[in-house]
Amino acid sequence: MIIAVSGTPGVGKTTVSKLLAERLGYEYVDLKELAISAGIAEPIGEELEIDVERLPEVAESMLRKKRVIVDGHLSHLIPADIVIVLRADPRILGERLRNRGYSPSKVADNVEAELIDLILVEAIERNERVLEVDTTGKNPEKVVEEITRLLREGVTKRVGVVDWTEHYDEIVEYLHIGRHGQNEGG
């Protein structure tokens, strides 16, 4: 049983995955570390470039028959039995990533990805079984409780739980477009 936990960087994947693994008695797997140990990851500057072409087969051969929680923003690309896509209000995500010291450009890339449901869409394209979970205003314990309840109830698909475009006016300051506006004095 492979449970993938994906979502935009900073959304809370590692926090939730470790707790979920503990609750379910599953092994926790960091997908980045798996890729490194399989020799399909290459450091490019400060980033780690993972060969996403080879990732699905490599992950499957390494994880097959195990009971694992796979943590990573590429985990929805592997053949998982179910994919959990964590969501967070882009305004919270933007603040979190700023506090991490990410450049405005990197914050913008990630806030934009969250705004347009990028990972959710990619997950749905590849997997029939996707559970979308909004973490906004919930502590990690509560998020894990929600996931374990859905799994217990046998829910295999639940998507469309958030729409961040409702808050677009407050999100735009984190985006490339908002920053350009500021540079131009608008």
Ligand X SMILES: Nc1ncnc2c1ncn2[C@@H]1O[C@H](COP(=O)(O)OP(=O)(O)OP(=O)(O)O)[C@@H](O)[C@H]1O
Q: Which positions lie near ligand X, rule CB under 6 A?
A: 7, 9-15, 73, 96, 135, 138-140, 143
Task: State in angstroms the smallest separation of the CB of 14 from Mg ion.
Answer: 3
- Chain-centroid distance of CA 10 in Å reads 8
153 CB burial (10 A radius; 0-12, 13-18, 19+): exposed
Nearer to ligand X, 103 or 182 (CB): 103
Span interacting with Mg ion, options 10-18, 83-91, 130-138, 148-156, rule CB under 5 A: 10-18
178 binds, among Mg ion, ligand X, none (CB under 5 to 8 A by kind): none
Q: Which range binds Mg ion by CB under 5 A, 7-15, 20-28, 31-39, 144-152?
A: 7-15
Rounded-to-integer distance, Cα 161 and Cα 132, Å: 7
The least distance separating ligand X from the CB of residue 184, rounded to whole angstroms, comes to 31
Distance (Å, whole) CA 73 – CA 93: 14
Cα 51–14–73 angle (5° rounding)? Answer: 30
Residue 76 contact, options Mg ion, ligand X, none, Cβ 5-8 Å cut-off depending on partner type: none
Contact partner, 73, from Mg ion, ligand X, none, Cβ < 5-8 Å per class:
ligand X
Among Mg ion, ligand X, none, what binds residue 143 when CB lies within 5 to 8 Å by partner kind? ligand X
SS3 content of the chain, % helix, strand, coil (to 5): 50, 20, 30
Binding site for Mg ion (CB under 5 A): 13-14
